[in-house]
């Protein structure tokens, strides 16, 4: 087959750059308008059946004008997102994002950098972020770390490094079974489900994860932890990993990190901290002392996309022992040959520290966020969300129709409307709140009671949003018990 110049298709770049440029500016303006006017929109609205149906189209074979596709985005996608940019969003633990993070994402996409490795400044940006994380968390400068999708993936990496540390390099070639060991891990009943999921994915099985009870403040009971480790050891298991949580997803409880670190040390176990949203409270001087012990962790998993307000996704794993981390993942491959200089220099590369070879430039939006806002301001935002949670707690205490269901440790408040058949009524209130577009808390269950759970993460949320949540809860609750 010969290639004639006529068969060469146009590239995917525009023929007419000025028109693309104009359209690009319009798209940017639309998104800036969206963020500027976010308060005037409902938090969330259900997707109309017609919009959902119309959206389903066969594979487009022919081109469509960019402006037309963007119109579809504006009319069919943008209005029906989950709404976590909105100040009334208080469900789960979702970050609010920022315009600065959005602009940095655009720059990263334009550069189209692949951060698997090679000698390039984008990799240096990620290394700079790692050094800042080490400084913030009180880790040695030679610790290693990596951007990943989120805390779930960061947890998988931590479990795999800990598994390698206890079983040795052989586990990578011969698997776990060849070791003849039955590894066990420990976390509290308040821990996030990703820890069990990653035990499964690491081949250890969820049964090998012991769920340690919590005290009345929902913090891990370290006496029970130590007893469970001893019992496992006595019955021939190999305890290897403890995951404490700094900011549980249900109530915002912080496990006693120093006490857990002491247990880990006494028994020679890996000490991991799930700091998904809570670890970045190190940015807030008023809260940081409550995370004492974090600096003793062997690994920390956390997200810049929650309290750090960096746009999704921006998880991070920090590992104290660089060599152990490298030895868990590094794999020689002819096509990934390293050189001392040239483009294939700068080894080791990020791909030597995790499962991903191709990796996006997540570091840039986090780096921009820290540079533009500064760590103090980000810390103030975090502290403010905790103050709002205390304000909400106070409002609940002053409102006889409402009942607080858990202590308020950080930024999460669990409460409910008092009434008969409270589980059903409160579940209905949560759905009605979300559908009202005023506020969007989520549901959880505490000691068998269904709770309205407000997690205040967004930098845009203020006292007025808390008042609106209280008002709407009372109105909807009263209406539900009458109907
Ligand atoms: C959000 C969260 C996770 C999971 O993190 P992802 O970034 O969603 O993967 C784990 N643990 C806690 C405490 C969380 O809040």
Tell me how far the alpha carbon of residue 270 lies from the centroid of ligand 1, in angstroms: 20
pLDDT at 135: 98
| Ligand 1 neighbourhood includes 276 CB (under 6 angstroms) | yes
Tell me how far the alpha carbon of residue 149 lies from the centroid of ligand 1, in angstroms: 11
Question: Is residue 370 pLDDT above 80, yes or no?
Answer: yes
pLDDT bucket at 333, cuts 50 / 70 / 90: confident
> Residue 482: how many CB atoms within 10 A of its CB?
6
Range with lowest mean pLDDT among 150-154, 238-242, 338-342, 473-477: 338-342
Could you identify the atom of ligand 1 that is nearest to the CA of residue 152?
Answer: 9
Tell me how far the alpha carbon of residue 457 lies from the centroid of ligand 1, in angstroms: 13
| Ligand 1 neighbourhood includes 249 CB (under 6 angstroms) | yes
pLDDT bucket at 1, cuts 50 / 70 / 90: low
Tell me how far the alpha carbon of residue 312 lies from the centroid of ligand 1, in angstroms: 13
Of all residues in the chain, what percent carry a pLDDT higher than 90? 93
3-class SS letters over the chain: CCCCHHHCCCCCCCCCHHHHHHHHHHHHHHHHHHHHCHHHCCCCCCCCHHHHHHHCCCCCCCCCCHHHHHHHHHHHHHHHCCCCCCCCEECCCCCCCCHHHHHHHHHHHHHCCCCCCCCCHHHHHHHHHHHHHHHHHCCCCCCEEEEECCHHHHHHHHHHHHHHHHHCCHHHHHCCHHHCCCEEEEEECCCCCHHHHHHHHCCCCHHHEEEECECCCCCECHHHHHHHHHHHHHCCCEEEEEEEEECCCCCCCECCHHHHHHHHHHHCCEEEEECCCHHHHHHCCCCHHHHCCHHHCCEEEEECCCCCCCCCCCEEEEECCHHHHHHHHCCCCHHHCCCCCCCCCCCCCHHHHCCCCCCCCHHHHHHHHHHHHHHHHHHHHHHHHHHHHHHHHHHHHCCCCEEECCCCCCCEEEEEECCCCHHHHHHHHHHHHHHHCCCEEEEEEECCEEEEEEECCCCCCCHHHHHHHHHHHHHHHHHHHHC
Could you identify the atom of ligand 1 that is nearest to the CA of residue 303?
Answer: 7
Model confidence pLDDT, tens digit, residues 42-97:
999 999 999 999 999 999 999 999 999 999 999 999 999 999 999 999 999 999 99
Measured between alpha carbons, how far is 212 from 244 in angstroms, rounded to an integer? 10
Tell me how far the alpha carbon of residue 226 lies from the centroid of ligand 1, in angstroms: 26
Query: What is the CATH class of 114-360?
Result: alpha beta
| Ligand 1 neighbourhood includes 194 CB (under 6 angstroms) | yes
Tell me how far the alpha carbon of residue 151 lies from the centroid of ligand 1, in angstroms: 5
152, 193, 301, 410, best to mutate for ligand 1 pocket (most atoms within 8 Å of CB): 152
249, 291, 444, best to mutate for ligand 1 pocket (most atoms within 8 Å of CB): 249
| Ligand 1 neighbourhood includes 192 CB (under 6 angstroms) | yes
Tell me how far the alpha carbon of residue 276 lies from the centroid of ligand 1, in angstroms: 5
Question: Is residue 339 pLDDT above 90, yes or no?
Answer: no
pLDDT at 2: 60
Residues in CB range of 203: below 8 A, 6 or more apart: 175, 176
pLDDT bucket at 3, cuts 50 / 70 / 90: low
Model confidence pLDDT, tens digit, residues 90-149:
999 999 999 999 999 999 999 999 999 999 999 999 999 999 999 999 999 999 999 999
Question: Is residue 340 pLDDT above 90, yes or no?
Answer: no
pLDDT at 431: 97
Could you identify the atom of ligand 1 that is nearest to the CA of residue 315?
Answer: 7
Tell me how far the alpha carbon of residue 21 lies from the centroid of ligand 1, in angstroms: 38
| Ligand 1 neighbourhood includes 303 CB (under 6 angstroms) | yes
Cα angle, residue 459 at apex, residues 455 and 461 outer, rounded to 5°: 65
| Ligand 1 neighbourhood includes 158 CB (under 6 angstroms) | no
Tell me how far the alpha carbon of residue 185 lies from the centroid of ligand 1, in angstroms: 18
Q: What is the mean pLDDT of the segment spanning 205-231? A: 98
Of all residues in the chain, what percent carry a pLDDT higher than 70? 99
Q: Where in the chain is the domain with CATH 3.90.1150.170?
A: 23-56+65-97+375-483
Tell me how far the alpha carbon of residue 158 lies from the centroid of ligand 1, in angstroms: 14
User: Strand pairing partners for 454?
Assistant: 413
92, 93, 251, 409, best to mutate for ligand 1 pocket (most atoms within 8 Å of CB): 93
Contact 334, 168 (CB under 8 A): no
| Ligand 1 neighbourhood includes 255 CB (under 6 angstroms) | no
148, 192, 299, best to mutate for ligand 1 pocket (most atoms within 8 Å of CB): 192
Q: Where in the chain is the domain with CATH 3.40.640.10?
A: 114-360
Tell me how far the alpha carbon of residue 241 lies from the centroid of ligand 1, in angstroms: 18
Tell me how far the alpha carbon of residue 408 lies from the centroid of ligand 1, in angstroms: 19
Query: CA 293: distance to chain centroid?
Result: 21
Whole-model pTM above 0.85?
Answer: yes
Tell me how far the alpha carbon of residue 456 lies from the centroid of ligand 1, in angstroms: 15
| Ligand 1 neighbourhood includes 277 CB (under 6 angstroms) | yes
pLDDT at 7: 67
| Ligand 1 neighbourhood includes 152 CB (under 6 angstroms) | yes
Which CATH number is 23-56+65-97+375-483's, of 2.40.110.10, 3.10.150.10, 3.90.1150.170, 3.20.20.70?
3.90.1150.170
Model confidence pLDDT, tens digit, residues 223-261:
999 999 999 999 999 999 999 999 999 999 999 999 999
């Amino acid at each position: 087959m010969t290639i004639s110049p006529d068969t060469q298709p146009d590239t995917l770049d525009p023929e007419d750059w000025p028109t693309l440029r104009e359209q690009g500016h319009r798209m940017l303006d639309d998104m800036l308008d969206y963020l500027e006017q976010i308060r005037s929109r409902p938090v969330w609205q259900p997707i109309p059946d017609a919009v959902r149906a119309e959206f389903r189209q066969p594979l487009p074979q022919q081109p469509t004008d960019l402006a037309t596709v963007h119109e579809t985005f504006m009319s069919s996608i943008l209005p029906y997102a989950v709404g976590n940019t909105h100040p009334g969003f208080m469900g789960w633990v979702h970050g609010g994002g920022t315009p600065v993070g959005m602009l940095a994402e655009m720059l990263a996409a334009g550069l189209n950098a692949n951060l698997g490795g090679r000698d390039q400044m984008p990799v240096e940006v990620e290394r700079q972020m790692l050094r800042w994380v080490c400084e913030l968390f009180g880790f040695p400068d030679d610790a290693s770390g990596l951007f990943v999708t989120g805390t779930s993936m960061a947890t998988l990496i931590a479990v795999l490094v800990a598994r390698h540390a206890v079983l040795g390099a052989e586990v990578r070639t011969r698997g776990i079974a060849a070791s003849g060991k039955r590894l066990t891990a420990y976390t509290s009943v308040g821990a996030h489900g990703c820890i069990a999921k990653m035990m499964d994915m690491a081949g250890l099985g969820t049964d090998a994860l012991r769920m340690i009870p919590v005290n009345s403040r929902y913090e891990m009971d370290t006496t029970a932890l130590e007893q469970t480790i001893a019992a496992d050891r006595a019955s021939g298991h190999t305890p290897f990993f403890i995951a404490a949580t700094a900011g549980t997803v249900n109530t915002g409880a912080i496990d006693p990190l120093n006490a857990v670190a002491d247990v880990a040390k006494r028994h020679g176990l890996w000490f991991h901290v799930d700091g998904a949203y809570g670890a970045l409270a190190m940015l807030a001087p008023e809260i940081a002392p409550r995370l004492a012990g974090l600096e003793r962790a062997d690994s920390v998993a956390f997200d810049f996309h929650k309290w750090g307000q960096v746009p999704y996704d921006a998880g991070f794993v920090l590992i104290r022992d660089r060599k152990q981390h490298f030895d868990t993942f590094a794999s020689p491959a002819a096509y990934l040959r390293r050189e001392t200089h040239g483009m294939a220099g700068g080894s080791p590369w990020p791909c030597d520290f995790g499962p991903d070879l191709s990796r996006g430039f997540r570091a840039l939006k986090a780096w921009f966020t820290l540079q533009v806002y500064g760590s103090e301001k980000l810390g103030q935002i975090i502290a403010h969300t905790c103050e709002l949670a205390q304000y909400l707690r106070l409002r609940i205490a002053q409102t006889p129709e409402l009942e607080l269901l858990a202590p308020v440790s950080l930024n999460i408040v669990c409460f409910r409307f008092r009434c008969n058949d409270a589980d059903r009524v409160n579940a209905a209130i949560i759905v009605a709140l979300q559908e009202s577009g005023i506020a969007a808390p989520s549901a959880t269950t505490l000691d068998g009671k269904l709770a309205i759970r407000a997690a205040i993460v967004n930098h845009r949320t203020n006292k007025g949003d808390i008042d609106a949540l209280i008002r709407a809860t009372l109105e909807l609750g009263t209406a539900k018990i009458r109907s």
